[in-house]
Amino acid sequence: MSLANETLASLRRRLAAREISPADIIRDLAAAIEAKNPSVGAYLSWDVDAAVTEAEQTDTSLPLGGVPIAIKDNINVTGQPCTCGSKILAENYRSPYDATSIRQLRAGGALPFGRLNMDEFAMGSSTENSALGVTRNPWDLDRIPGGSSGGSASSVASATAIAALGSDTGGSIRQPAALCGVVGVKPTYGRVSRFGLVAFASSLDQIGTLTKTVEDSALVLNHLCGHDPLDSTSLNEPVPDFAAALGRDIKGLRIGLPKEYFISGIHPAVADAVRAAIKTLESLGARVEEISLPHTDAGVSTYYILAPAEASANLARFDGVRYGHRTANATDILDHYFSSRAEGFGPEVKRRILLGTYVLSSGYYDAYYLKAQRARTLIRRDFEEAFQKVDVIVSPTAPSPAHKMGELKNNPLQAYLEDVFTIPANLAGLPAMSVPSGFAEEGGKKLPVGIQIIGKALDEVTMLRVAHAFEQASGLSHLAP
Q: Is 148 a catalytic residue?
A: yes
What distance in Å separates the CA atoms of residue 88 and residue 115, rounded to the nearest whole number? 17
Catalytic entry in 86, 101, 148, 158 = 148
Q: At what angle do helices 214-221 and 8-16 cross, to 10 degrees?
A: 70
Catalytic entry in 36, 72, 212, 456 = 72
How many C-beta atoms surround the C-beta of residue 393 within 10 A? 26
The CA distances from residue 456 to 41, 218, 251, 380, 463, in Å, are 36, 17, 18, 11, 8
What distance in Å separates the CA atoms of residue 48 and residue 152, rounded to the nearest whole number? 18
Q: Is 437 a catalytic residue?
A: no
Pair 65, 105: CB distance under 8 Å:
no
Query: How would you label 41-63 residue by residue, b for 16+ Cβ within 10 Å and e otherwise?
Result: bbbbebebeebbebbeebebebe
Identity of residue 374: R
Residue 96 exposure: Cα atoms within 13 Å on the Cβ side: 2
Identity of residue 73: D
DSSP line for 48-67:
HHHHHHHHHH--TTSTTTT-
Strand ranges, E, within 119-202: 163-168, 183-186
Pair 201, 359: CB distance under 8 Å:
no
Pair 67, 8: CB distance under 8 Å:
yes
Pair 446, 141: CB distance under 8 Å:
no
Burial of 459 (0-12, 13-18, 19+ CB in 10 A): middle
Catalytic entry in 172, 339, 340, 400 = 172
Helices (H), 74-221: 87-90, 100-107, 150-157, 174-180, 214-221
Catalytic positions are 72, 148, 172
